[in-house]
């Protein structure tokens, strides 16, 4: 789908399929288009072109039917500060169409899941931000949705509150499909198994977290003075490039090298054997560990390079 505001494309040709039971992180910088995707998915906005279906129901054709399957927590939870928690959840359960005979049980389950038992008769406006987020989550799950859409659920919380909300999301993920939007990299690593990366309105990566963080680079540390390293290691099978990185900050007196290998290969034993045969002292040798931050920076740089190439 595509969503435009006048001449500005907030979301450009975004296409993805999420299966039942997945916990998916939608990652991107502020203004990348994440919230717009969430609003279109939940029926709060219509796409400029394309279509969205939830459980086989087209969101544009049958918005109410699709929304019955969705629990949505916007970035700013729609709370009424003068209402008590219990009153608010009852109102939201009724708006969700829960039958009167099932109303109390549904509220009790949502309250227990979000840890709000001790705050039912407390006005929402007197709660901490962490507990207001819990109330927002409770209203999103009170009707037991198949799909839970969370937009920046830990934004502005302190570290203790963030851990609490993360634990809650992991528990909810055992029962519902979860799509979690955030610009916080640690959030994705903590709770998601699959990552969608958006940059400037476009989907630039869709991958499992483990696959996304995997690397074909071996980090090598050799005692300074080792000569002809690039030529010798570059001759090995499955080694594509050898690049010096300067001093090894972890081991004084050693230099760092990046050995780029063929995808799926494991030439570490051959690298060690070559180093020992050449008389080089090895400080360390290990597959390079990528972080989401480095992956995101690489993707951003790739987008910049592609745009520059198109304008030339």
Report DSSP letters for 107-173, one per residue. HHHHHHHHT-GGGTTSBGGGS-HHHHHHHHHHHHHTT--SEEEEESTTTT--HHHHHHHHHHHHHHT
String of b and e for 81-107 (b: at least 16 CB within 10 Å)? eebbbeebbbebbeebebeeeebeebb
Percent of the chain with pLDDT over 70: 100
pLDDT digits (tens, 9 = 90+) for 200-223: 999 999 998 888 888 889 999 999
Same fold, 3-212 and 215-287: no
Quickly state the pLDDT bin for 57 (edges 50, 70, 90).
very high
Give the chain's mean pLDDT: 90
CATH code assigned to 3-212: 3.40.50.300
Is a pLDDT exceeding 80 seen at residue 117?
yes
Residue extents of the structural domains in the chain: 3-212, 215-287
| Cα-based angle 212, 214, 216 (whole degrees, multiple of 5) | 125
The pLDDT confidence band at residue 38, using thresholds 50, 70 and 90, is very high
Q: What pTM value is reported for the model?
A: 0.78
Which class for 240: exposed (0-12), middle (13-18), buried (19 or more C-beta within 10 A)?
middle
Q: Provide mean pLDDT across the span 46-67.
A: 92
Fold classification of 215-287 is Alpha-Beta Plaits (3.30.70)
| 22-48 average pLDDT score | 92
Residue 287 pLDDT:
87
pLDDT score for 186: 82
């Amino acid at each position: 789908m595509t969503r435009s505001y006048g001449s500005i494309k907030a979301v450009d040709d975004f296409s993805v399929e999420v299966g039942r039971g997945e916990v998916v992180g939608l990652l991107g910088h502020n203004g990348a288009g994440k919230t717009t995707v969430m609003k279109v998915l939940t029926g709060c906005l219509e796409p400029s072109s394309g279509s969205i279906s939830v459980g086989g129901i087209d969101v544009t054709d049958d918005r109410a039917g699709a929304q019955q399957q969705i629990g949505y927590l916007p970035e700013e939870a729609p709370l009424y500060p003068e209402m008590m928690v219990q009153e608010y959840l009852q109102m939201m359960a009724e708006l969700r169409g829960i039958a009167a005979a099932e109303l109390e049980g549904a509220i009790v389950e949502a309250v227990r899941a979000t840890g709000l038992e001790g705050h039912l008769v407390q006005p929402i406006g007197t709660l901490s931000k962490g507990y207001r987020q819990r109330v927002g989550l409770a209203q999103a799950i009170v009707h037991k949705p198949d799909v839970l859409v969370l937009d920046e659920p830990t934004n502005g919380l302190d570290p203790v509150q963030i851990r609490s909300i993360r634990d809650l999301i992991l528990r909810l993920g055992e029962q519902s499909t979860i799509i979690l939007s955030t610009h916080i990299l640690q959030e994705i690593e903590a709770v998601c198994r699959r990552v969608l990366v958006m940059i400037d309105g476009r989907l630039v990566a869709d991958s499992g977290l483990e696959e996304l963080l995997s690397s074909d680079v071996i980090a090598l540390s050799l005692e300074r003075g080792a000569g002809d390293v690039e030529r010798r290691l570059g001759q090995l099978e499955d080694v594509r490039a050898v690049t010096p990185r300067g001093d090894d900050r972890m081991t004084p007196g050693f230099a760092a090298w990046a050995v780029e290998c063929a995808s799926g290969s494991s030439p570490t034993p051959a690298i060690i054997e070559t180093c020992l045969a050449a008389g080089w002292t090895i400080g360390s040798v290990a597959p390079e560990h990528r972080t989401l931050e480095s992956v995101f920076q690489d993707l951003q740089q790739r987008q910049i390079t592609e745009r520059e190439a198109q304008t030339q």
